[in-house]
Amino acid sequence: MQPNNSQVNRRIATISAHLNPPNYSQMEGGSGLGRANCRAKGGSAGFKVAILGAAGGIGQPLAMLMKMNPLVSVLHLYDVVNAPGVTADISHMDTGAVVRGFLGQQQLEEALTGMDLVIIPAGVPRKPGMTRDDLFNINAGIVKTLCEGIAKCCPKAIVNLISNPVNSTVPIAAEVFKKAGTFDPKRLLGVTMLDVVRANTFVAEVLGLDPREVDVPVVGGHAGVTILPLLSQQVKPPCSFTQKEIDYLTDRIQNGGTEVVEAKAGAGSATLSMAYAAVKFADACLRGLRGDAGVVECAFVASHVTELPFFASKVRLGRFGVEEVYPLGPLNEYERIGLEKAKKELAGSIQKGVSFVKK
């Protein structure tokens, strides 16, 4: 298969653009442009991303990886403690994004103004023996406050919500936005990418494949039995599993988070892999915002795929957020039973979130 002409031409055009780059210092002619009009010093064309909860266990590696992403031009790090330290640390990295830190609720609005993408890892993590739902009370309040800020300052931003329990915090966010009149179902996404990452890793382990080459869709929600890996639909490479493998994999994917909480024995929950997955997902959102075609990821979004108001499935990301929500596709018997179980629990969690705000 030979590359066709347009691809070759595109490549050549890009090569020559790099060979003769625009020389910024000459172009701007000294003090021509006021600071307000310049792109930030050393910054590249890109998007403005805010991380709310940047000094936490997920937030810190997340901030480091986002600082390294060339699609990010401005990075705002917000938290209620320790934000200046993390900002000073990250600001020394020699990549293009400009970093600013914001400490405390009084600076929340400043942190959010003008943002294109807001990532929310804020909240407390699980300890051994806890379910994601046990975090509800604390994290629900945190998410509500942060979303009120978003509704006020950057209503058009894409929101990636990580704070658990995602099954409830996403409906909470939706209700807050609805109250403020800024709800856009295309721009609110719960991050379930870590389930996909885990599914890919475990399936690759079982099949002896390169985990980069595996793609398993994971639908439903982001807690326990609501996580539904569709192993029959695993597209690349196409393969079939024995029933034992299906049971093992489904169980392991559903409890991957608990696996890490136990291994950390009280020191926290998944932070590094969550940061990795969140960055992968944020990068997909940014590529969609930039206009790339064919950016498809699983996410927990407002959805008509089932009778539930929210459901995770494959979505296509584009300039306005979620452009298309894909239906579930063919499910086998095992998955259909799993789907019913998932829907029951998910309905409860969604309702819990909605009632929290309505109260």
Partner 1 sequence: MMVNILSRERRCIRYTKEKGKILGRENSAAKRVDLKECEMAATSATSFSIGSTVSLGSRGCSLPQKKPFSVRFTSQNSLTSFSGLKAATSVNCESESSFLGKESSAALRASVAPKAQKPNQRSQYVLQPQASYKVAILGAAGGIGQPLALLIKMSPLVSTLNLYDIANVKGVAADLSHCNTPSQVLDFTGASELGNCLKGVNVVVIPAGVPRKPGMTRDDLFNINANIVKTLVEAVADNCPDAFIHIISNPVNSTVPIAAEVLKQKGVYDPKKLFGVTTLDVVRANTFVAQKKNLKLIDVDVPVVGGHAGITILPLLSKAKPSVSFTDEEVEQLTVRIQNAGTEVVEAKAGAGSATLSMGYAAARFVESSLRALDGDGDVYECSFVQSNLTDLPFFASRIKLGRKGIEAWIPSDLEGLTEYEQKALEALKPELKASIEKGIAFVQKQPVTA
Residues tagged active-site: 222
Whether the CA torsion 159, 160, 164, 165 is positive or negative: it is positive
Residues 6+ apart with CB under 8 A from 261: 125, 126, 127, 128, 130, 268, 269, 270
Part of the chain binding partner 1 (CB under 8 A), chosen from 91-99, 183-191, 333-341, 350-358: 91-99
Spatial contact of 296 and 326, defined as CB atoms under 8 Å apart: yes
The strand pair at 310-318 and 295-302 is best described as antiparallel
Residue 100, φ and ψ in degrees, nearest 5: -130, 145
The interface with partner 1 within residues 150-209 (CB under 8 A) comprises 194, 196-198, 200-201, 204
How far from chain centre, in Å, is Cα 159? 8
Question: For partner 1, which is the closer residue by CB, 143 or 289?
Answer: 289
Q: Which of these ranges, 119-127, 168-176, 212-220, 225-233, lies near partner 1 under the rule CB under 8 A?
A: 212-220
Site string for partner 1, 3-42 (x = CB under 8 A): x---x--xx-xxx--x-----xx--x------------xx
Nearest-approach distance from CB 175 to partner 1, in angstroms: 30
Pick one of 63, 147, 231, 289: the residue that binds partner 1 (CB under 8 A). Answer: 63
* Residues 90 and 64: beta-carbon distance below 8 Å: yes
Note whether 131 and 247 are within 8 A (CB): no
57 is in an annotated binding site: yes
**DSSP β-bridge partners for residue 133:** none
Min separation Cβ 195 and partner 1, Å: 10
Q: Does 100 bind partner 1 (CB under 8 A)?
A: no
Of the candidate spans 84-92, 107-115, 175-183, 240-248, the one that interacts with partner 1 by CB under 8 A turns out to be 84-92
Residue 64 makes contact with partner 1 by CB under 8 A: yes
274 has binding-site annotation: yes
> Smallest distance, Å, CB 350 to partner 1?
26
Residue closer to partner 1 by CB (options 206, 275) is: 275
Q: Is 29 annotated as a binding residue?
A: no
> CA–CA separation, 66 vs 211, rounded Å?
23
**Pairing assessment for the beta strands 47-52 and 117-120 based on DSSP bridges:** parallel
Is residue 103 within 8 A of residue 51, CB to CB? The reply is no
Q: Is 329 in the site for partner 1 (CB under 8 A)?
A: no
Binding residue for partner 1 (CB under 8 A) from 100, 287, 341, 352?
A: 287
Q: Which distant-in-sequence residues (6+ apart) come within 8 Å of 337 by Cβ? A: none
Find the binding residues for partner 1 in span 297-326 (CB under 8 A): 297, 317
What is 141-202 written as a DSSP string? HHHHHHHHHHHHH-TTSEEEE-SSPHHHHHHHHHHHHHHHT---GGGEEE--HHHHHHHHHH
Question: By CB under 8 A, what part of segment 254-273 binds partner 1?
Answer: 256, 259-260, 263-265, 267-268, 270-273
Q: Is 35 annotated among the ligand-binding residues?
A: no
| Alpha carbons 57 and 71: distance in angstroms, whole number | 23
Residue 132 annotated as part of some ligand binding site = yes
212 assigned to a ligand binding site? no
Binding-site positions for NAD(+) read 53-59, 79, 139, 162-164, 274
Binding positions: 53-59, 79, 126, 132, 139, 162-164, 198, 274
